[in-house]
């Protein structure tokens, strides 16, 4: 008897991965983070509404790509260490402190982890900042960064469209459009676009469904949305 026709689609032994598009950008006064919501196991979509933007502290968040288990474990460790640090310092932690903790965990275990991360947030000492931690554990302070499998499709777009000192509205639109374009072209990215805006006033989340994401010029027009009772 031949192999089951479903074996090529779903293999339970494969790691659950956030084959993904993640990004973050600094604007005048804060940062905007964005990510798609698809989690896959091989060719099987394990979760289509994943939240890949995880809290590390009240003012600091992390975008996760790579192995879901690895990135969740790193996030838990960093959150624990930051909590201890903030108690000792009696103030909210700095974004660069969280980024350095994540970098040391990734770099120190780079042969065993598959994790590409973006740490971003706002603190009173340095204001808004974005830190990129690609595979291997390099740490870069950048004005904007993209990661995950979908990032290869939008490097040119992001280099062309990003500009310094954007307003909050311009930066949010830039992030949503960028992740939307990656979703349209990358088979491992999909679902919705989740955003997170962080500034001195706090945190604001955004959620954009498929019919609310700006379309590329080469995409087919969407049909009418099915209404349910």
pLDDT exceeds 90 at position 223: no
Q: Which of 18, 20, 39, 97 is catalytic?
A: 20
20 is catalytic: yes
Q: What are the residues whose beta carbons fall under 8 Å from the beta carbon of 227, sequence distance 6 or more? A: none
Structure-model confidence comparison of residues 172 and 42, the more confident one: 172
15, 52, 146, 195 from 140: Cα distances, Å:
28, 20, 12, 21
- Identify which of 98, 97, 103, 130 has the alpha carbon closest to the alpha carbon of residue 116: 103
pTM reported for the whole predicted model = 0.86
pLDDT exceeds 60 at position 62: yes
pLDDT exceeds 50 at position 227: no
Residues 73-114 have pLDDT tens digits of 999 999 999 999 999 989 999 999 999 999 999 999 999 999
The stretch 157-178 carries a mean pLDDT of 95
The stretch 128-137 carries a mean pLDDT of 95
Residues 172-187 have pLDDT tens digits of 999 999 999 999 888 8
């Amino acid at each position: 008897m031949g192999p089951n026709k479903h074996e090529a689609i779903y293999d339970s032994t494969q790691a659950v991965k956030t084959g993904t598009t993640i990004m973050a950008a600094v604007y005048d006064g804060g940062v905007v983070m964005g990510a798609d919501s698809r989690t896959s196991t091989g060719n099987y979509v394990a979760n289509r509404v994943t939240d890949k933007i995880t809290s590390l502290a009240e003012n600091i968040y992390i975008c996760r790509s790579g192995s879901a288990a690895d990135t969740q474990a790193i996030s838990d460790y960093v959150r624990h260490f930051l909590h201890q640090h903030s108690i000792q310092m009696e103030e909210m932690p700095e974004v660069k402190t969280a980024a350095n903790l994540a970098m040391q965990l990734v770099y120190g275990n780079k042969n065993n982890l598959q994790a590409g991360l973006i740490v971003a947030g706002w603190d009173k000492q340095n204001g808004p900042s974005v830190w990129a931690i690609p595979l291997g554990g390099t740490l870069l302070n950048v004005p904007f960064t993209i990661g995950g499998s979908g990032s290869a499709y939008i490097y040119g777009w992001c280099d062309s469209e990003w500009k310094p000192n954007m307003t909050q509205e311009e930066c949010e639109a830039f992030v949503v459009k960028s992740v939307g374009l990656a979703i349209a072209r990358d088979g491992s990215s999909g679902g919705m676009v989740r955003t997170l805006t962080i500034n001195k006033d706090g945190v604001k989340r955004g959620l954009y469904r498929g019919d609310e994401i700006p379309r590329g010029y080469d995409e087919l027009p969407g049909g009418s949305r099915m209404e349910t009772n």
